[in-house]
Amino acid sequence: MSSLLMPKATAVWLIDNTALTFEQIAEFCGLHLLEVQAIADGDVSQGILGFDPVLNGQLTQENIDECCNDSSLFLTKSSSSLPDTKAKSKGPKYIPLARRGDKPDAIAWIVKNHPEVKNSQISKLIGTTKDTIEKIRTRSHWNISNITPKHPVLLTLCSQEDLENAIIKAGGKIETDEDNSFSTSN
C-alpha cells in the first residue's frame, strides 16, 4: 500500500464526517491511536483543514459505510488506475573541471587494486570512457608517466558504498581495517 496523501488532514476529515473508531482511522492514516485521539480533542489539529479522501479517490463511500457499521473492519485504500511512479535515476553527476584530471589516477587505483572490476563498471563509477580505462590498463595512455594511483573516494569521484558495491559485484574482496591490522599475541 502506498503512503497516504496528507494523513493528518485525512484523519481530521474522517473524525469530523464519519462514525469510524479511532483505531480504524489510525490504521488507515498510519498514525498512532493517541495522535488520532489528540486530533479529535483538538490538541493537535488546530489549523489543519480536513481533506476528503472520497473526493481524492483514496477511499470509497461504500468502504466507509461498511467500516462504520462493523468496527472490526478496517478501511482499505482504493486502487488507482494510474501507473505506479518510477524512481527517478540520478543521471550523470557533475565533476568540476579541476577534478576531471584526477579521473585517470582513480582508474589506475581501481585497476591496480581490483583488476577484476570490469571496464563498464569503472566507466559508470568514475564517469569516463571505456577507451580511457583500456588505455590505462594496457599502459598506453598518452599521460601514463604522470598517472599515480589514488583512491577514487579520496578524490571525491565516487562514494565508498558505490565502490564497494562495484567490487562485490565483480567478485572481489573488500579490504577492511581488520584485514590490515596486525595481531599481537603474547
Q: What is the DSSP string of 21-67?
A: -HHHHHHHHT--HHHHHHHHHTSS-TTPPP--HHHHTSS-HHHHHHH
Q: Are 127 and 157 in contact (CB under 8 A)?
A: yes
Residue 133's pLDDT is: 95
Domain boundaries, the chain: 7-69, 97-172
Residue 186's pLDDT is: 43
pTM of this prediction exceeds 0.75:
no
DSSP string, 117-132: S-HHHHIIIII--HHH
Q: Give phi and psi for 126, each to the nearest 5.
A: -95, -30
Give the pLDDT band (50/70/90) at residue 130: very high
Residue 148 has pLDDT above 90, yes or no: yes
Residue 131's pLDDT is: 95
